[in-house]
């Protein structure tokens, strides 16, 4: 038996989804207990034993903040860490035998927050070993990842970028590059000469670690497990062993088929 009963959940489908994502949501909805469409305020009327499933919708910010403070169980889902579609500079799910895309699902948080004792089979299946690079310990610049304003608004930190840049300047005289969410320059090229990458919760931190660039992130990021959250230590990054973390990431994301057929409920951590 999994941690969550699929008959005791409610999937929130926000308005304005693209057709491909709406189709996926509807398929998931048909496989579980309840669906709430468009009006996020209806989530407040759910019984306490029903677990809401929500994604990156900015209007949910106050509700998620309340659930985190009160300890209510909830599930967050978003694009996956590896072989994801959109907003990635790593290979997508186009290799032979690899599903079309992955989504991360987590209970009570936005990203993985501990390394699990799992095998490497799901990581190996992704065929990304050629992306792994040795740690670069000789970089100069600090790359700060900006992202959509809606993301910062969702987590109630609208001015995080400016506050963070100001903080970094208290601890380093290195050049600071704020990378736009819309930048066309490959992230890997940007990181070749970087001392580290800094971000709130962008999956760019995952890619950075794989490519050997150390990271400083918030507690919201799965990369905190192989990086640092104390920005006052910006001059002394860490360079840990990465394989157990990669194995765990692969076990915390699921293909569309695994979500629809219920595999996610057996695996969700």
Average pLDDT score, the chain:
93
Residue with tokens 């189709």: 23
Q: What is the pLDDT of residues 112-148, one digit of tens each?
A: 999 999 999 999 999 999 999 999 999 999 999 999 8
Distance of CA 96 to the CA centre of its chain: 25
- DSSP 8-state symbol, 106: E
Share of the chain above pLDDT 70, in %: 97
As a CATH number, domain 133-241 is 3.40.50
Largest Cα–Cα separation, the chain = 54
pLDDT at 94: 66
What pairs with residue 75 in β-bridges? Answer: 53, 107
Distance of CA 57 to the CA centre of its chain: 14
pLDDT class of 93 with cuts at 50, 70, 90: confident
Q: Which residues of 134-162 are buried (b: 16+ CB within 10 A; e: fewer)?
A: eebeebebbbbbbbeeebbebbebeebbe
Distance of CA 16 to the CA centre of its chain: 22
Distance CA 122, CA 132 (A): 16
Mean pLDDT over residues 9-36, rounded?
89
pLDDT at 95: 65
pLDDT at 232: 98
Mean pLDDT over residues 198-213, rounded?
97
pLDDT at 101: 81
Where are the CATH 3.40.50 domain residues in the chain? Answer: 133-241
Q: How many CA atoms lie within 13 A of 162 on its CB side?
A: 4
DSSP run (H or E) holding 169: none
Signed CA dihedral, 105, 245, 220, 183: sign only: negative
Mean pLDDT over residues 225-234, rounded?
98
pLDDT at 1: 38
Share of the chain above pLDDT 90, in %: 79
Q: What is the pLDDT of residues 50-80, one digit of tens each?
A: 999 999 999 999 999 999 999 999 999 999 9
C-alpha pair distances (Å), 42 with each of 37, 39, 63: 9, 6, 11
Distance CA 197, CA 191 (A): 8
Distance CA 244, CA 242 (A): 6
Q: What is the pLDDT of residues 189-205, one digit of tens each?
A: 999 999 999 999 999 99
Q: What is the pLDDT of residues 230-268, one digit of tens each?
A: 999 999 999 999 999 999 999 999 998 999 999 999 998
pLDDT at 33: 76
């Amino acid at each position: 038996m999994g941690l969550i009963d699929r008959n005791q959940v409610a999937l929130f489908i926000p308005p304005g989804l693209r057709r491909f994502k709406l189709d996926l949501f509807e398929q998931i909805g048909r496989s579980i207990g309840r669906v709430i469409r468009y009006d996020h305020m209806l989530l407040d009327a759910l019984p306490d034993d029903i677990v809401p499933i929500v994604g990156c919708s900015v209007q949910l910010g106050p509700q998620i903040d309340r659930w985190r403070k009160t300890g209510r169980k909830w599930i967050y889902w978003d694009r996956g860490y590896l072989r994801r579609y959109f907003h990635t500079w790593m290979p997508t799910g186009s290799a032979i035998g690899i599903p079309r895309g992955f989504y991360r699902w987590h209970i009570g948080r936005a990203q993985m927050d501990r390394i699990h004792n799992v095998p490497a089979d799901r990581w190996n299946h992704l065929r990304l070993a050629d992306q792994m690079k040795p740690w670069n310990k000789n970089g100069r610049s600090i790359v700060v990842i900006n992202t959509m304003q809606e993301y910062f608004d969702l987590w109630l930190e609208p001015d995080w970028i400016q506050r963070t840049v100001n903080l970094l300047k208290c601890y380093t005289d290195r050049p600071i590059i704020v990378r736009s969410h819309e930048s066309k320059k490959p992230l890997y090229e940007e990181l070749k000469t970087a001392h580290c990458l800094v971000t709130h919760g962008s999956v760019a931190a995952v890619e950075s670690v794989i490519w050997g660039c150390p990271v400083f992130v918030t507690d919201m990021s799965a990369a905190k497990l192989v990086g640092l959250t104390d920005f006052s230590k910006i001059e002394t990054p860490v360079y840990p062993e990465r394989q157990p973390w990669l194995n765990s990431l692969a076990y915390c994301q699921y293909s569309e088929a695994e979500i629809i057929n219920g595999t996610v409920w057996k695996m969700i951590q």
